[in-house]
Amino acid sequence: MSLAAQESAEAARKIFESVYAAAPAGIFAAPGRVNVIGEHTDYNEGFVLPMAIDRYTAVAVAPRLDGLLRMVSERAGWSDYPAGVAWAMIGAGALPADFKGADLAFSSRVPVGSGLSSSAALECSTGLALAAVAGKPISPAELARLSQYAENEYAHVPCGPLDQLSSAFGAADAVLHIDTRTFDIAVHPFALGDAGLTMLVMNTKVQHQHGESGYADRRSACERSARLLGVPALRDVNFADLDRAAAVLDETDLRRVRHVVTENDRVNRFVSLLQLGPLEGPRLNSAGELLTASHVSLRDDFEVSCAELDIVVDAALRGGAHGARMTGGGFGGCAIALVSTDRLERVAETVSEALPQAELFTVVADRGAYQVA
């Protein structure tokens, strides 16, 4: 049970009742995510370390009999995602070909367009709701796979599997160490509060124009480099190969590859620290350094940060955060800072002074998509 999910579920129920003048048959919720570390590694078959957050999209649902899919939400411009999930599920046999339709009402507390995976939350909540009205249970793995398929092939966003896996598999007080080649997931305790730590989210509120093309461009640079290096994916490149890569790739592509290689290593080093016990003392310092090094690599080698993200990251560090980095695809959106709870106010003040428009809030790791009611 998640209090945050229940609140969104109640909001979805109210919308459902007022729009459709009936009670829903069920309510489902799926969370957004913060990727703690492991950025732009998922489409290179590498490693990621996300946590699902206590910000949910909830959907109230009831079956129909006429094949229509009706939907309403307090936000505009969302309908491609639920429609895409229904399309993907029918195509894969997860819904019957003669699916009889449904009424859906959405409510969400995942900020849109900020790199916290509002679309994955929307997709995964829809998938659970539709599977339930069709009476065909869906596993978290299938939910994530079909949600990503809908995003790639229906909404035409060339994302990797990170967001949908996070939303489907999230766990309270835990991070997910995901191998995006095998989809193996190891769950590691991440009860930050117990360790006197807080995860601060700093939403810059900017979304740069070139975000979408920038993402697709980085993805093709990685795929091109893998081809030139003769490996299935950049996951298969290690530190020793970087010398060889320098002879084959141009300077820019070499930096892209270096980011992926060093970032995969940072994820696995971060996990090794977690395996040694709660983050404190030198372990906490090392974890913070890995986060900040990830930001520097995304900024300088992968070039997906932006001025506003750099400003909030630098300010958080000046204010005393242990580490800080952009999270998600970049080109705007959110950064995160790992902060000792007793320094939170100081860090928040420093960030607000540096970028007054930034919206700051804290998150905890919460459970993945589930049926709330």
Catalytic residue annotation: 163
Sole window of 16-24, 154-162, 192-200, 307-315 interacting with ligand GLA (rule: CB under 6 A): 154-162
User: Could you say which of 133, 144, 162, 197 contacts ligand GLA (CB under 6 A)?
Assistant: 162
> For ligand GLA, which is the closer residue by CB, 49 or 355?
49
Which residue is associated with the tokens 């804290």? 362
> For ligand GLA, which is the closer residue by CB, 35 or 350?
35
Determine the Cα–Cα distance for residues 207 and 219; give it in Å rounded to an integer: 19
Per-position b or e across 254-265, b if 16+ CB within 10 A of its CB: bbbbbbbbbbbb
H or E element, residue 47 = strand 47-63
- 263: which strand partners? none
Whole-number minimum distance, CB 152 to ligand GLA, in Å? 10
Count of positions on this chain that bind ligand GLA (CB under 6 A): 11
- From its phi and psi, is residue 340 left (phi > 0), alpha (psi between -120 and 50) or beta? beta
User: Could you say which of 4, 12, 159, 317 contacts ligand GLA (CB under 6 A)?
Assistant: 159
| CB-CB contact of 112 with 105 (8 Å) | no
Report CA-CA distances (Å) from 164 to 5, 235, 238, 351, 354. 17, 20, 27, 30, 33
User: Could you say which of 16, 28, 43, 190 contacts ligand GLA (CB under 6 A)?
Assistant: 43
81 forms part of the interface with ligand GLA (CB under 6 A): no
User: Could you say which of 45, 54, 123, 163 contacts ligand GLA (CB under 6 A)?
Assistant: 163
39 forms part of the interface with ligand GLA (CB under 6 A): yes
Determine the Cα–Cα distance for residues 186 and 179; give it in Å rounded to an integer: 9
> For ligand GLA, which is the closer residue by CB, 103 or 123?
123
> For ligand GLA, which is the closer residue by CB, 38 or 288?
38
Whole-number minimum distance, CB 184 to ligand GLA, in Å? 17
**How many Cβ atoms from other residues are within 10 Å of residue 207's Cβ?**
15
Give the pair of three-digit tokens for residue 39.
């950025």
Dihedral (CA of 51, 352, 322, 313) sign? positive
Residues 299-328 that bind ligand GLA (CB under 6 A): 328
368 forms part of the interface with ligand GLA (CB under 6 A): no
User: Could you say which of 40, 145, 343, 367 contacts ligand GLA (CB under 6 A)?
Assistant: 40
- From its phi and psi, is residue 135 left (phi > 0), alpha (psi between -120 and 50) or beta? left
DSSP for 313-352, written as a single string = HHHHHHTT-SEEEE-SS-SEEEEEEEEEGGGHHHHHHHHH
x/- map, 172-201, ligand GLA, by CB under 6 A = ------------------------------
x/- map, 103-142, ligand GLA, by CB under 6 A = ----------------------------------------
Whole-number minimum distance, CB 38 to ligand GLA, in Å? 7
Give the pair of three-digit tokens for residue 200.
């601060």
> For ligand GLA, which is the closer residue by CB, 40 or 295?
40
Give the pair of three-digit tokens for residue 49.
């370390």
| CB-CB contact of 15 with 73 (8 Å) | yes
User: Could you say which of 288, 329, 332, 368 contacts ligand GLA (CB under 6 A)?
Assistant: 329
> For ligand GLA, which is the closer residue by CB, 43 or 99?
43
169 forms part of the interface with ligand GLA (CB under 6 A): no
Binding site for ligand GLA (CB under 6 A): 35, 39-40, 42-43, 159-160, 162-163, 328-329
